[in-house]
Structure 1
Amino acid sequence: MRIEYHRTLIADHVRNEAFFRALKAVIEPGKSVVADIGAGTGLLGLMASKLGAKEVFLFEIAEVAGVAAAVLKANKAKACHLIPCHSTEFRDKLAVDVIVSETLGNYALEENIIATLADARRRFLKSGGHVVPTGITQYIAPVITPRIDEELRAWQGVGHDINLAPAQTMTLNNAYVRLLQASELLGGGRSAVAWDAIDLTRDTRSKRKGEAEWRLSKPQTIYGFATWWTAELVPGVTLSTGPLTPRTHWEQLYFPLLDPIEVKSREVVGVELRSNSSEAGGTHLAWAAIHKNAQGGVLARQSLDLDKGYLP
């Protein structure tokens, strides 16, 4: 893994300050023991140390663990223990007051934060301890501008009477990391609906599903859907990747459609989403768009699946 990726994390001051505020809220100087899971270059673990944590255990399995070790040494960090394995593989006894994990992706669950925190909470967390973040809410909104849709339909413009439709279909069965402006979303982004809410302080499923729908007040063309998330780090401290909040290094996800949907006034457009993330199987995403008439009758349905977007 290139160090450049970790530089983008360190450069994300919105992210860094949110986690600093969250850690400050839950660390009791001289008493709290902290586990930083997915420590990267060690920033959050060092923050915990600077805030007075009694001990900090930093879990990191990637090559960047070597960088973290050098960073800890450069900062003369005492009582900071780098553990070069995934926390789920750690079998020694550990009792901590705070578990912090910034294992969040553009799609919130792609780094398996649900399973990772569930394991750490059961095996490491003292009674009355804190988990950071405490929860994640996932949002979705229709995209009403053709910018990304046109980009993805390049297969149609090759000319010379050549049909590349099979490749076009594969392209559309993918989710894309893109930065969207609020003006590209229905209602300027304020029409976003929460399709999933995850409580990380208790056991919950890594398989997620949800739905949303919108009744349009005027005719509109829907080209796809944009998703993002908001994480509650601790009560009163949140971090969001949405288009109406301060920008982070994360961007939104764009879910295409096989064909844009022409929606008339009073008609309804809806979406259903399913996801499953695991260490062994990776991330699977599927989505379906439903176009309904004003009375609620289904006019058309489009189903897409990330698994159909991979080359065999």
Structure 2
Amino acid sequence: MRIEYHRTLIADHVRNRAFHDAMAAVIKRGETVVSDIGAGTGLIGLMAAKLGAREVFLYEAAEVAGVAAAVLKANRAKACQLIPCHSTEMDDPPRADVVVSETLGNYALEENIIDTLADARKRHLKDGGVIIPARIRQFVAPVISDRFWTELTVWDGVGFDIDLAVARTMSLNNVYVRSFTAGDLLAGGSSAKEWDAVTLGSDTRSARKGEASWTLDAAATVYGFAYWWEAELSPGVTLSTAPDAPRTHWEQLFFPLLTPMSVAAGESVLASLRSRSSEEAGTHLGWTAVHFDRQGASKARQAMDLDKGWIP
């Protein structure tokens, strides 16, 4: 059991407060029924009970369900009922006024939140009920600092007249969890653009694709792209993994290029990102970069794929 992972969740006060405040806005004391999907150690479900929920159903399929059971008992949480299975496996589930699910990753969709909440809306949620989070927006920005790209290309400097270019290419066909500063990003991060948005519960497309482009005011070298997300939990309550947002246990992702692109002023660069996620196959990511000249003609194109970064 990865109890240390759950410790990082419990220590994330920004995350905890955001989910607490989102539930506080919709729970009516003594009336509201809540379903907590992916309950982990039971923290969010317990918060719902403390906020006055009449009943709380906690769904958890992993081993940590045993910890949740003990935690609920220790807290004398009579309103809480632990259901040790995945919510999608539950036959004829009880209906809830609020479905809450903190099944978000550094890549927002890596824990299959789209499929989970599409099923929840259909089978777990009462008519007119509320889903938390409601929406996810995904952002991308060009990385103009070489510090992460240099870290990934150490294969070039091993010496001894040994060529490790194959391993270098595999390294660059991977996605990395990193923390960016404003100086790492084009225009200090203000260049970030939304490439995808998901309305949870009603959007059923677990395969996502989007793009963004930038025309540069000054010459810069692009080493890859930074990724982050923003979740609207409820009206007025958001949670973000952006570099300038309050720090959480999540970080940003780095999508590197195979070769840096030297982009002159007036030229542009385009990033196309794609993903597909499923419980059976996990998450697959791909990204493409295109460098255009001032007239809009393509100067260079690179296509990266996470699958190429793994040894078969």
Q: Which residue does 1:188 correspond to in 2?
A: 188
Amino acid at match of 1:15: R
Equivalent in the alignment of 2:128: 128
The structural deviation recorded for 1:183 is 1.6
Aligned to 2:292: 292
**Superposition pairs of residues 68-217 of structure 1, within 5 angstroms:** 68-217=68-217
Q: Which residue of 1 aligns with 2:66?
A: 66
By how many angstroms is 1:124 displaced?
1.1
Letter in 2 for 1:309: G
Q: Structure 2 CA distance, aligned partners of 1:259 and 1:137?
A: 28
> Counterparts of 2:81 and 2:11 in 1: how far apart (Å)?
25
Give 1:93 deviation, angstroms. 3.5
Equivalent pairs: percent with the same residue? 67
Aligned residues of 2:92 and 2:123 also touching (Cα < 8 A):
no
What is the aligned-residue RMSD (CA, Å)?
A: 0.7
5+ residue gaps, structure 2, are none
Deviations 1:37-75 (A, max 9, x none): 000000000000000000000000111111111111111
Letter in 1 for 2:270: G
Q: Is the 8 A contact 2:114 2:201 kept in 1?
A: no
- The corresponding residue for 1:4 is 4
Shift of 1:94: 1.1
- TM-superposed deviation, 1:201: 3.6
What letter matches 1:222 in structure 2? V
| TM-score (structure 1 length as normaliser) | 0.99
Q: Is the 8 A contact 1:213 1:268 kept in 2?
A: yes
4+ residue runs over 4 A deviation = none
2:119–2:201 contact (8 Å) kept in structure 1: no
Q: In the TM superposition, what is the alpha-carbon distance from 1:202 to its structure 2 partner? A: 1.0
Aligned residues: 312
Q: What is the CA–CA distance in structure 2 between the aligned matches of 1:281 and 1:242, rounded to whole Å?
A: 28
TM-score norm. by structure 2 comes to 0.99
Establish whether residue 269 from structure 1 lines up as the match of residue 269 from structure 2: yes
CA contact (8 A) 1:198 1:204 kept: no
Q: Give the deviation of 1:79 after TM superposition.
A: 1.7
Q: Please report how far the alpha carbon of residue 256 of structure 1 lies from its aligned counterpart in structure 2 after TM superposition.
A: 0.5
Aligned position for 1:235 = 235
CA distance, structure 2, for counterparts of residue 203 and residue 105 of structure 1: 18
- Deviations along 1:10-56, one digit per CA (max 9) or x if unpaired, are 10000000000000011111111000000000000000000000000
Q: 2:24 maps to which residue? A: 24
Q: 2:177 corresponds to which letter in structure 1?
A: V
Aligned to 1:103, the other structure's residue is in SS state coil
Deviations 1:248-267 (A, max 9, x none): 00000000100000000100
> Letter of the aligned partner of 1:211 in structure 2?
E
Q: Which runs of 5+ in 1 are unaligned?
A: none
Q: Which amino acid aligns with 1:3?
A: I
- Looking at structure 2, the residues matched to 224 and 201 of structure 1 have their Cα atoms a distance apart, in angstroms, of 32
Listed one character per residue, the Cα deviations across residues 153-176 of structure 1 (whole Å, up to 9, x for unaligned) are 011111011001111111100000
Whether the 8 Å contact between 1:45 and 1:56 is mirrored in structure 2 is yes
CA distance in 2, matches of 1:279, 1:154: 34
With over 3 angstroms needed to count, the CA separation of the structure-2 counterparts of 1:93 and 1:218, relative to structure 1, is closer
